[in-house]
Amino acid sequence: SQTIHQWPATLVQPVGSPLSLECTVEGTSNPNLYWYRQAAGRGLQLLFYSVGIGQISSEVPQNLSASRPQDRQFILSSKKLLLSDSGFYLCAWSAPWDTAYGYTFGSGTRLTVV
Amino acid sequence: KNEVEQSPQNLTAQEGEFITINCSYSVGISALHWLQQHPGGGIVSLFMLSSGKKKHGRLIATINIQEKHSSLHITASHPRDSAVYICAVSGNSGYALNFGKGTSLLVTP
């Protein structure tokens, strides 16, 4: 069966520090991978999606970046965090052969930038 | 971009009540999703619909494609149903979901 792992669960980082959040998927090949963010009091917002290794599309300009070094690994990074980067970050995957297939979400990372 | 509107924003019900949460969207979609987010933040996919109706236990989801509207019903509500329920749509161009802001449900004993 397919599973998705996301870590860490919580993170407190000072302004200006780097960030690396990791997500891995098991039990499927060539998944579509997504990073979403939920800011306080707001809905989920797509940050990045990837349809294959090294293929990253960005939906929102920001100081974050994403990489997909392996088929089932998706990494969210920042060189210098801003206070506005605080929020709840979710990784998700969906089946590439059907864009209407159900999504599976990771457990999320709650990031607080101080 | 598909605008997804949910109502109500907040809902309080007594245990046993029948609950309805509504979702409307602005442009054609390939599928509509109902998600549940518990206080810890984790999100669980409840339903994915492209037409008609689906039922799972006490949860029922319906969609009217012509009216661009979907409803999530909870029968015989229970305090453990307390959560944020989120509607999201995947567009015809695929890939990403557009989310509503969620409906916060509190079921009291």
Q: Is the omega angle on the peptide bond into residue A8 within 30 degrees of 0, that is, cis?
A: yes
Of A106, A60, A107, A113, whose CA–CA distance to A87 is shortest? A113
Partners of B104 in the β-ladder: B10, B84
Residue B17: its pLDDT value, please?
97
Q: How far is CA B35 from the centre of its chain?
A: 6
**Interface residue of A99, A101, A107 to substitute, partner B, most B CBs within 10 Å:** A99
Residue of B nearest to A89 (CA): B41
- Tell me the pLDDT tens digit for each residue of A33-80: 999 998 877 788 889 999 999 999 988 778 999 999 999 999 999 999
Q: How many CA atoms lie within 13 A of B4 on its CB side?
A: 27
- In order along its 109 residues, chain B shows pLDDT tens digits of 668 999 999 999 999 999 999 999 988 788 899 999 988 778 888 998 889 999 999 999 999 999 999 999 999 999 999 999 999 998 766 567 889 999 999 999 9
Higher pLDDT, residue A93 or B42 = A93
Distances (CA, A) of A77 to A32, A80, A81, A82, B86: 18, 9, 9, 12, 27
Q: Please give the average per-residue pLDDT across A23-37, as a whole number.
A: 91
CB contacts of B96 in chain A (<8 Å) are: 34, 46, 49, 59
